[in-house]
A and B are shown apart, each in its own frame.
Chain A
Amino acid sequence: MEGREQGIVIPIEARLARKALKGDQQAFAEIVGLYQDKLYHMAFRMLGSRQEAEDVVQEAFLRVYRNLDRYDEGMKFSTWIYRIATNLCIDRLRKRKATYSLDAESTEHEGLDGYAVIPSDDRTPESEMLLSETQRIVRQAIDTLPAKYKSVMVLRYLHDLSLQEIGEVLDMPVTTVKTRVHRGREYLRKKLERKL
C-alpha cells in the first residue's frame, strides 16, 4: 500500500522524495511548495536581504534535488532541508564578514566575539514598512549577532525548533546549542535594555 511499508507510515516528504528521485517533477514541485516559505523566511531573517534569501532558497532546493539519493529517511526531512539551507546562509554570512574585514577601518559594528558585522543594505521599502519601530530595533540587534549565534536564534524563535532539533540541523551537540542560545539571549537582553 502506498505510504506504508511493513506497517510503518512513511512521512509525506519521504514519499515525495522517493518519487522525485525517480524523475517525478510534480513530486519535487510539491516538496518546493511545502518548504519554500519556511526556507525563505529563515534565509531572509538570517541575511536580511530579499535577493540573497531567494538565491539561497534556490540553491538549497537544487542541492536537495541533486542529493535526493543521499537523503537518509532516518532523519526528518525538515531537519535535512533546514540543514542544507542554514549552511548556505552561514556560508554567506561568513563570506560577508571576510569581505568586510579586509577593508574594515571601523570596528563600529561588532558582534559577540568581536566579529565585524555588516548591516544589510538592500531591504526594500515595503519590507521595512511592515516592521514597526520596535521590530526594527530588535532586528538590528539580531543582525549584529555573529553567524553561529544567529542561526541558533533564528531556528529557535522563528521555527520554534527544540534545542534537540537545532542540534540535529546544525550537527552539533545539544549542550553547544544550549550555550549559544544562552549567550545569544544574554547578548540581546543587554543590547535591548538600553534601547527599548
Chain B
Amino acid sequence: MNCAQASRLMHEYFDGDLAHEDASELKAHLGGCPECRERFNDYERTEGFLHMALAAPVGRTEADRAALTDRILKSVPGRRSRRLAR
C-alpha cells in the first residue's frame, strides 16, 4: 500500500466505512510509515475539534426559544382553526 492509498483509507475510516480487511492493511501501513501515522493523528484531532466546535451549545436561553416559537406561530396563517372556533 502506498501513502495515497493509505490516505484514501483513512478517510473511509473516519467516515465509518472502512472494511475489515482494509483496516488491517491500513494498520500495517501506519505501523511502518511515520508520515502517514502523523497524518492519521492529525485527522483524528481534526475530527475531535469538529465535533466539539460544531456540537457545542449555542448559548440560547429559554426566553430566546419561547420568543422564536411565538414568532414562528404568529407568522403562519392560522385561519382555518380560528375561523372554526369563532
A residues whose Cβ falls under 8 Å from a Cβ of B: 22-25, 28-29, 32-33, 36-37, 40-41, 44-45, 54, 57-58, 61-62, 65, 126-127, 129-131, 134-135, 138-139, 142, 153-154, 157-158, 162-163, 178, 181-182, 185, 188-189, 192-193, 196
A192 surroundings in chain B (CB, below 8 A): 45-46, 49
A44 surroundings in chain B (CB, below 8 A): 58
Chain A binding surface SS class: helix
A41 surroundings in chain B (CB, below 8 A): 58
**Given known contacts A23-B80, A37-B65, A138-B52, A29 and B73 CB-to-CB distance under 8 angstroms:** yes
Q: In angstroms, how far is the closest chain A Cβ from the Cβ of B71? A: 6
Taking a contact as CB atoms under 8 Å apart, the answer to whether A130 and B57 are in contact is yes
Taking a contact as CB atoms under 8 Å apart, the answer to whether A25 and B58 are in contact is no
Taking a contact as CB atoms under 8 Å apart, the answer to whether A23 and B81 are in contact is yes
A22 surroundings in chain B (CB, below 8 A): 80
A127 surroundings in chain B (CB, below 8 A): 58-59
B63 CB-CB contact with A under 8 Å: no
List, sorted by A's number, 8 A–B pairs whose CB atoms are closer than 8 Å. A25-B78, A29-B69, A32-B73, A40-B58, A62-B75, A130-B59, A138-B49, A185-B46
Q: In angstroms, how far is the closest chain A Cβ from the Cβ of B38? A: 10
Chain B binding surface SS class: helix
Number of A-B contacts defined by CB within 8 Å? 104
Taking a contact as CB atoms under 8 Å apart, the answer to whether A189 and B46 are in contact is yes
B4 CB-CB contact with A under 8 Å: no
B19 CB-CB contact with A under 8 Å: no
Other A-B contacts than A157-B54, A158-B55, 19 sampled, CB-CB below 8 A, are A23-B80, A28-B73, A28-B76, A44-B58, A57-B68, A61-B75, A65-B77, A127-B58, A127-B59, A130-B56, A130-B57, A130-B58, A138-B53, A139-B53, A154-B54, A158-B54, A163-B17, A185-B46, A196-B49
Chain B: interface residue count, which band?
35 or more
- In the complex, what residue of chain B is closest to A29 when comparing beta carbons? B73
Taking a contact as CB atoms under 8 Å apart, the answer to whether B80 and A61 are in contact is no
Q: In angstroms, how far is the closest chain A Cβ from the Cβ of B75? A: 6
Taking a contact as CB atoms under 8 Å apart, the answer to whether B69 and A181 are in contact is no
A129 surroundings in chain B (CB, below 8 A): 59
One digit per residue, 1 when the CB lies within 8 angstroms of any chain A CB and 0 when it does not, for chain B 1-41 equals 00000000001001111000000000000000000000100
